[in-house]
């Protein structure tokens, strides 16, 4: 008799836990992803700020699949789900399933602002982090021999939009890169000319954290030289500025958009209602409503618990993934099934050396203790022994030597020229190679 076939779309935090939970069981699992690696997104900002090499935060999915006889991997872009015929339609072929798990995650939400989409960097994929690192290094190199003070100032201005964990962590890491490392690297420059601006639409950073932790994060960032602007709305961007609603534009060549996510593209191909951010409201057992053979987990889902929606964070995706693996096996073996319950252990964000905030089990921590907890947790959830060692080695190196060793410009001059031809800089004095 044919074995039950589970197809998991997405090898991120949620999808990987489904595959691991079913490994060694009596069902066959096919993990499908457009990338051949699992990406540890929480450390993307460290790749962008030259602290980690990209290999340290990505892990080959085939390395995971090959350990288990019932788990296999396919590299493919999933374009649509044929629910009636129980098939996953990819850019290459159609894959049949008995049970389907959709764990395709989320994407950056520019809220239909095309100028932001065109000109801002985001941090979602590995290549986004490398592109942003290249830009940071590139503008410093150009500023080092730029004689026009206004242009030099614009090259050395970095704008981050979004005061959530990603914006806060990136702003802190960039401030340390500039003041601890570039200070020595660029003797031609007065590094204090560099400005890091963190913009947030509401009246505090880390708005889902307790208020005292938000205040601490703000104070620490200001102490590190970050210009924190609250209650400020961004209206758009050009190739050389950020447009502020009710305020003057900020000349810059580096804008990071960290102000929102929406459900993955694949969500648009599925039937049914959508919640905020295009998320799919799921049943208490994480099914696509009306489809007992399809689970949806992680950032794609909308599920309320105790009156509020679960956040789009790794721990929710991980717990959902583990739950779904158990639920599939319980269904297969006719065992009792229970609805999904998220066990909220809290949240953390790091600000800089020895500085972090943590809200764990209702206890608010800040400073070195929170920082150590943050380091430990990120190592614990990281995938792969070598990756863990690499990440810890890089942290130790940075901590001991005040250094960031991945300060490599890896862009190709031809690529850059092509980009500049498609999007010429608006200021004729700006060297062509700075177009995004
Ligand atoms: C910069 C950044 C920092 C973050 N920091 C934290 C943090 O500190 N703590 C925390 O808890 N959370 C953090 N998060 C959020 C966390 O990473 C997500 O909540 C988590 O990754 C969601 O897991 P998931 O399994 O739903 O999706 P993901 O982990 O995003 O995985 C989705 C997978 O699906 C694949 N995929 C998508 N579409 C397709 C398709 N059409 N075909 C094939 N494959 C597809 C993708 O390649 C990816 O591998 C951060 C996110 C980002 C971007």
Could you report the per-residue pLDDT of 48-94, keeping only the tens digit for each? 999 999 999 999 999 999 999 999 999 999 999 999 999 999 999 99
Position of tokens 């076939």? 5
Phi, psi dihedral angles at 234 (to 5 degrees):
-95, 130
Q: Residue 26's domain spans which residues?
A: 5-34+76-108+261-332
Spatial distance between the Cα atoms of 5 and 208, rounded to a whole number of angstroms: 39
Token couple for 336 = 């009792």
Token couple for 312 = 């789009």
Of residues 19, 11, 13, 8, the one with CA closest to residue 382: 13
- Catalytic option among 146, 169, 176, 200: 169
Q: Residue 169 catalytic?
A: yes
Of residues 193, 221, 50, 195, the one with CA closest to residue 132: 50
My answer on whether 185 and 269 are in the same domain is no
Note the pLDDT of residue 64.
94
Return all residues near 173 (Cβ < 8 A) that are at least 6 apart.
Answer: 45, 46, 48, 49, 51, 352
My answer on whether 387 and 249 are in the same domain is yes
* Domain stop point among 300, 332, 364: 332
Note the pLDDT of residue 114.
97
Spatial distance between the Cα atoms of 182 and 403, rounded to a whole number of angstroms: 9
* Domain stop point among 332, 359, 374: 332
Atom of ligand 1 nearest to the CA of 170: 1
DSSP 8-state class, residue 428: T
How many separate domains does the chain show? 2
Residue 166 falls inside a structural domain: yes
Q: From the CA of 266, how far away is ligand 1's center (Å)?
A: 14
- Atom 33 in ligand 1: residue holding the nearest Cα: 10
Residue 220 falls inside a structural domain: yes
Note the pLDDT of residue 101.
98
Burial class (CB in 10 A: 0-12, 13-18, 19+), 423: middle
The pocket around ligand 1, CB under 6 angstroms, is made up of 9-15, 32-35, 39, 41-42, 44-45, 77-78, 103-105, 123-124, 165-166, 264, 266, 298-299, 312-315, 317
* Domain stop point among 272, 297, 332: 332
Residue ranges of the chain with pLDDT lower than 70? 411-436
Residue 357: count of CB within 10 angstroms of its CB: 29
Q: From the CA of 342, how far away is ligand 1's center (Å)?
A: 18
pTM of this structure = 0.93
- Atom 12 in ligand 1: residue holding the nearest Cα: 313
My answer on whether 97 and 208 are in the same domain is no
Q: From the CA of 41, how far away is ligand 1's center (Å)?
A: 6
Atom of ligand 1 nearest to the CA of 297: 26
Note the pLDDT of residue 435.
42
Position of tokens 């960290």? 258
Note the pLDDT of residue 418.
38
Radius of gyration of the chain from its Cα atoms, rounded to whole angstroms: 23
Residue 176 falls inside a structural domain: yes
Spatial distance between the Cα atoms of 62 and 35, rounded to a whole number of angstroms: 11
Residue 39: count of CB within 10 angstroms of its CB: 22
Q: From the CA of 249, how far away is ligand 1's center (Å)?
A: 32
My answer on whether 352 and 247 are in the same domain is yes
My answer on whether 193 and 233 are in the same domain is yes
Quickly list DSSP for 102-154. E---EEE--TT-HHHHHH-B--SSHHHHHHHHHHHHHHHHHHHT---HHHHHH
Return the CATH number at 388. 3.50.50.100
My answer on whether 165 and 196 are in the same domain is yes
Spatial distance between the Cα atoms of 214 and 165, rounded to a whole number of angstroms: 10
Spatial distance between the Cα atoms of 397 and 17, rounded to a whole number of angstroms: 31
């Amino acid at each position: 008799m044919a074995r039950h076939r589970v197809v998991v779309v997405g090898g991120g935090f949620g999808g990987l836990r489904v595959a691991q939970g079913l490994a060694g069981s009596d069902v066959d699992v096919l993990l499908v992803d457009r990338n051949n690696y699992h990406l540890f997104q929480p450390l993307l900002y460290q790749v962008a700020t030259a602290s980690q090499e990209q290999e340290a935060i990505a892990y080959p999915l085939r390395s995971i699949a090959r350990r288990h006889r019932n788990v296999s991997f396919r590299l493919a872009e999933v374009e649509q789900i044929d629910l009636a015929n129980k098939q996953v339609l990819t850019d290459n072929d159609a894959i049949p399933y008995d049970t389907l798990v959709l764990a395709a995650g989320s994407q950056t939400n520019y809220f239909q602002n095309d100028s932001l989409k065109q000109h801002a960097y985001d941090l979602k994929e590995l290549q986004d982090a490398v592109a942003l690192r290249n830009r940071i290094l590139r503008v410093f190199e150009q500023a080092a021999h730029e004689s026009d003070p206004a242009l030099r100032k614009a090259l050395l201005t970095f704008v981050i939009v979004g005061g959530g964990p990603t914006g806060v962590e990136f702003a802190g890491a960039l401030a340390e890169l500039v003041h601890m490392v570039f200070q020595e690297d660029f003797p031609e420059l007065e590094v204090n000319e560099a400005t890091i601006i963190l913009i947030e639409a509401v009246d505090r950073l880390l708005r889902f954290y307790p208020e005292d932790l938000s205040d601490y994060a703000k104070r620490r960032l200001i102490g590190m030289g970050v210009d924190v602007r609250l209650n400020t709305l961004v209206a758009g961007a050009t190739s050389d500025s950020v447009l502020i609603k009710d305020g003057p534009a900020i000349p810059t060549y580096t804008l990071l958009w960290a102000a929102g996510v929406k459900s993955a593209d694949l969500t648009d191909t599925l039937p049914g209602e959508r919640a905020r951010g295009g998320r799919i409201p799921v049943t208490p057992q994480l099914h696509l409503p009306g489809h007992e053979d399809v689970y949806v987990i992680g950032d794609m889902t909308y599920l309320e618990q105790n009156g509020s929606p679960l956040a789009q964070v790794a721990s929710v995706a991980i717990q959902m993934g583990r739950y779904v693996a158990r639920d599939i096996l319980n269904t297969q073996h006719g065992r009792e099934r229970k609805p999904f319950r998220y066990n909220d252990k809290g949240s953390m964000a790091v600000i800089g050396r020895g500085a972090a905030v943590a809200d764990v089990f209702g206890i608010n921590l800040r400073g070195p203790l929170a920082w150590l907890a943050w380091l430990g947790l990120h190592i614990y959830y990281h995938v792969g022994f070598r990756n863990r060692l690499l990440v810890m080695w890089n942290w130790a190196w940075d901590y001991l030597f005040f250094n960031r060793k991945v300060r490599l410009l890896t862009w190709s001059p031809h690529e850059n020229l092509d980009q500049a031809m498609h999007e010429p800089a608006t200021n004729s004095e700006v060297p062509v190679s700075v177009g995004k």
